[in-house]
Chain A
Amino acid sequence: MSISMSINLILFILSPVFALLANGIFRKAFARFQCRKGPPIIQPFYDMMKLWKKKRAEAEESKNIVFYAGLFLALFFLIILYSIFFGIISFDHDFILFIYLLVSIEVAIICSAFASKNAFSYVGSMRELVLMIGYELIIAFSIINIMGVSGETSIFSIESSAISFPLSAFLLFISGFAVLRITPFDTVNAHTEISSGMPSEYSGKLLMMYYFAERLKEFIYCIFLSKIIIGWNMFTPIIAVILIIIYALMNASSARYSFLEASKRLFLMAIISFINLGWIGL
C-alpha cells in the first residue's frame, strides 16, 4: 500500500470525527457572529452521545420498514461517497456515481420521512424534493463542467483550481446553502414553519443517525468544494474551515426565503449552470 493511499485510508476512517468537529466550528462561528459565546467545538459529540442514550418514541403509524431503512441506506450511501472521494474506490468516470450518490442520500432520507406519516415530515419532504431538483441539477451540471474543463475522469484526481472554472465553483458554493440548510435556502428545516420538517418523527438513536448523516453530508460537501477551489493539497482542509466560517457568517446575516422564492432562485441558477455547460462545448 502506498503512503498516499495509507493517508487517504486514515482520513477516510477519521472523517466522521472531522465532520462533527466541522459542525462544532460552524456553530461556534455562528454564535460569535451573533455576539454569543456559543457551545464548545466538541458539542456535536456530546449531542450524539446524548441522543444515543435517549429512548425512542415513535407513533404506531411510523413503525414501518421504509421509515427505519431510509436512514441506514443514507448512511450506506455516505460511506460509498466518502470511499470515492478519498480514493478508496476509484475508477474512471466515478463523478457520475458521485452525483448519483448525492441524490440517493437525500432520496433515502425523504423516503424515510414520507414513511413516518407525520404532517411536518411530509411537508418537509415535499419541500426537499422540489428544492433538490434545483440544487442537485446545479451540482450535476457544475461537476460535468468541471470534469470537462479539467479533462479528468475521476473526482479523486481533480488537480485544477477554481480559476479554470470560476462560474461552476461559484454555483457549487451557492448550492451549498441548500445542501447545508443555510439561510436563505433553509426552508426544508424551517422550525418556525414546519417544526424542522423531515426529522420531526425521529427520536433517540434514529435522530442521532439523521444528524450524523447530515453532518457527514455537510462535511463532504465542504471538502469537495475546497478541493474544487484549490485542488487536493495541504491547504484543502484550511480552505474547508474557511468555507465553513463563511457559511456560518451567511447563516447569521440573512433571513430565510419563502419556499416559492427559494425554489424560483434555485431553478434560475440551475438554468445558469446548464448554460454554463457551453464552456466545454456540450
Chain B
Amino acid sequence: MHDLTFPIGPQHPGVKEPVFFKIYLKGDMIEDMEFHGGYVHRGFEKLLEGQEVLKSIHTAEKICGICSYAHSGCMTQAVESLMKLNVSQSVKMTRIVIAELERIHSHLLWAGFLFHDIGYETLFMYFWKERSKVVDLFEELTGQRIHHAINFIGTTKINIPKKNNIMQTLEEINEKVKSYKKEIINDGVIKSRFIGKGIISKNLGEKYCAVGPTARASKISMDVRSTGYEGYGSIRFNPILGAKGDSMERLIVRLEEISQSVGIIKQALSLIKKPAEKMERHYIKRAEGHARIEAPRGELFYFLSVKHNNVLRAKIKTPTLNNFPILKPLIVGSELGDLPIIVASIDPCIGCMERVMVAKNGTLKILSKKDLMEACGYEHKHEH
C-alpha cells in the first residue's frame, strides 16, 4: 500500500517536456507508476499528408528542435529511395557533416540537462557553453542555428567551403569534453547518483527493442550508420558499446560518441571534392519508399507514400517510441530522486514521440491488412 500519490508533470522541472508520471510513493521509494501522455501531440503525420514532397522535407524538419536535421535528412532519403535517385559523394558527405554536428549538439545539450537534474548547475553551464559553439558553426555553415533547411531532393543548399574552422572548433570542444569526462568519472557524488541507477540489461534492451546510445550502453550493437547508408560506408568507425547499461554508462557512451563524431566529420570533410550540383524538379506519379537513419537519440524511420508529387501517407517512428516503454521497469523500485535521472538518461523527446489513437465508441476491433489499407485511402491493387 502506497503512502502518497505524487505528481510529476505535465509541468515539472524534472521532466523538460509536457508528460505526466503518476508516482505511488512508499517513503521515498517508488512503488508503482502510471504514464499519461497526449499533452504535446501536434499531428505532424496528418499535416504532411497532401503536402508537396519538396515542402514536406522542410515541414518534417520542424518535428524536433534538437534533431531537426535528422528528420529532414530521413525524409529526403525516403524520397530519394522511392525515386531510386543516386546522390553524389560530395552531397552525401556534406549531409554527414551536418548530421554529425547535430549529434554533437544533441549530446552536449542532453549532458547539460542530465547534470541540471542532479543539481550540478556548473557542468550544465559548461556543456551548454560548448553546445553554443556548435550552434555558431551551424549558423556559419547553413545560415540557421536550429532548423537548417539545407536538404533538397538529390542535393543540398549549401557547399562547405574549403577554408573553414569546423575542425578547429570541434577539436576545442573535444578537448573540453574529454576533460569533463575525466572529472565526471572521478567525482564521488556523480558516481553515487549514476552508477547502478536505471540498469538496462542486454536482455531487457533487446526485449523492448531499445535503440541508439541507450541500446549501445547495454552492449547491444545497434547503430544504423553501420549499414552504410548515405555514404557512411566510406567512413571508418565502430559503434561505441557500453557494458553495464546503467545511467553512467549511457552518459559515457554519449560523451565518447562526441569524440567519434569529430573523427567522422574529419573523414567526411576530406571526401568533399566538388560542390553540390543543382537538381531539376522531379515528378513522382505514384511510389512508396522508406528510410532509416541514426538520429542522435537512435534509429529514426520514415515510410513515405507519394501520389502526384504529394505525400499520401507519412509514417514516422522516432527513437523515443522504442526507448520510452522501458522506463517503467527502471523507475519502479527506485528512489524518487532517481526518477529525473533515469528519465533523462534515455534522452526522451516527447514532442517527437506523441501519437494519438482514436477509439470510437470505446470499442476495440482487430483490423486486417485490407481494412487498414482501405482506412488509409489505398487502392487494393496499386502500382508500386
Q: Which residues of B contact A195 (CB under 8 A)?
A: 12-13
Q: Which residues of A contact B192 (CB under 8 A)?
A: 257-258, 261
Q: How far is the CB of A66 from chain B (nearest CB, A)?
A: 19
CB under 8 Å from chain B, chain A span 226-282: 252-261
CB under 8 Å from chain A, chain B span 118-144: 118-123, 125-126, 129
Chain A CB within 8 A of B34 CB: no
Given A122-B4, A254-B189, A258-B193, verify A34-B118 contact (CB < 8 Å): no
Which of these, B119, B125, B335, contacts A35 with CB under 8 Å?
B125
Given A119-B6, A193-B337, A260-B28, verify A252-B116 contact (CB < 8 Å): no
Q: Which residues of B contact A191 (CB under 8 A)?
A: 13
A256 touches B13 (CB 8 A): no
Chain A CB within 8 A of B5 CB: yes
Complex Cα distance, B190 from A119, in Å, reads 27
Chain B CB within 8 A of A186 CB: yes
Q: Which residues of A contact B119 (CB under 8 A)?
A: 183-184, 186, 190, 192, 255-256
Chain B CB within 8 A of A112 CB: no
CB under 8 Å from chain A, chain B span 7-38: 7, 12-14, 25, 28
Q: Which residues of B contact A256 (CB under 8 A)?
A: 118-120, 189, 193, 337
B120 touches A259 (CB 8 A): no
Q: Which residues of B contact A123 (CB under 8 A)?
A: 4, 6, 25, 28, 336
Complex Cα distance, B337 from A261, in Å, reads 11
Q: How far is the CB of A161 from chain B (nearest CB, A)?
A: 31
Given A123-B336, A260-B28, verify A184-B189 contact (CB < 8 Å): yes
Chain B CB within 8 A of A33 CB: yes
Chain A CB within 8 A of B383 CB: no
Closest chain A residue, CB of each to CB of B344: A192
Given A119-B6, A192-B119, verify A255-B13 contact (CB < 8 Å): no
CB under 8 Å from chain B, chain A span 188-206: 190-195
Chain A CB within 8 A of B288 CB: no
B337 touches A258 (CB 8 A): yes
User: Which residue of A119, A192, A254 has the most chain B CB atoms within 10 A of its CB atom?
Assistant: A192
B125 touches A255 (CB 8 A): no
User: Which residue of B13, B116, B123, B338 has the most chain A CB atoms within 10 A of its CB atom?
Assistant: B13
Complex Cα distance, B149 from A280, in Å, reads 74
Q: Which residues of A contact B338 (CB under 8 A)?
A: 258
Given A119-B7, A190-B119, verify A259-B337 contact (CB < 8 Å): yes
Q: How far is the CB of A210 from chain B (nearest CB, A)?
A: 18
Chain B CB within 8 A of A55 CB: no
Chain B CB within 8 A of A145 CB: no
Given A255-B187, A258-B193, verify A190-B120 contact (CB < 8 Å): no
Chain B CB within 8 A of A168 CB: no
Given A119-B4, A192-B116, A255-B187, verify A34-B121 contact (CB < 8 Å): yes
Chain B CB within 8 A of A36 CB: yes
Complex Cα distance, B121 from A11, in Å, reads 34
Count contacts on A: residues with CB < 8 A to the other chain: 29
Q: Which residues of A contact B93 (CB under 8 A)?
A: none
Chain B CB within 8 A of A142 CB: no
Which of these, B126, B193, B336, B339, contacts A255 with CB under 8 Å?
B193
Complex Cα distance, B124 from A192, in Å, reads 13
Complex Cα distance, B115 from A119, in Å, reads 25
Complex Cα distance, B6 from A194, in Å, reads 9
Chain B CB within 8 A of A116 CB: no
Q: How far is the CB of A250 from chain B (nearest CB, A)?
A: 11
User: Which residue of A126, A194, A255, A256 has the most chain B CB atoms within 10 A of its CB atom?
Assistant: A255
Complex Cα distance, B115 from A256, in Å, reads 10
Which of these, A35, A186, A187, A192, contacts B340 with CB under 8 Å?
A192
Closest chain A residue, CB of each to CB of B125: A34
A259 touches B335 (CB 8 A): yes
Q: Which residues of B contact A119 (CB under 8 A)?
A: 4-7
Complex Cα distance, B119 from A255, in Å, reads 5
Q: How far is the CB of A33 from chain B (nearest CB, A)?
A: 6
Closest chain A residue, CB of each to CB of B184: A255
A252 touches B121 (CB 8 A): yes
CB under 8 Å from chain A, chain B span 96-124: 115-123
Q: List 7 A-B contacts (CB under 8 A).
A: A119-B6, A123-B4, A183-B120, A194-B336, A255-B118, A256-B189, A256-B193
Q: 4 smallest A-B Cβ distances: which pairs? A: A256-B119, A255-B120, A255-B118, A192-B14
In addition to A127-B28, A191-B13, A255-B193, 4 A-B residue pairs with Cβ atoms within 8 Å of each other are A184-B189, A192-B13, A193-B336, A257-B193
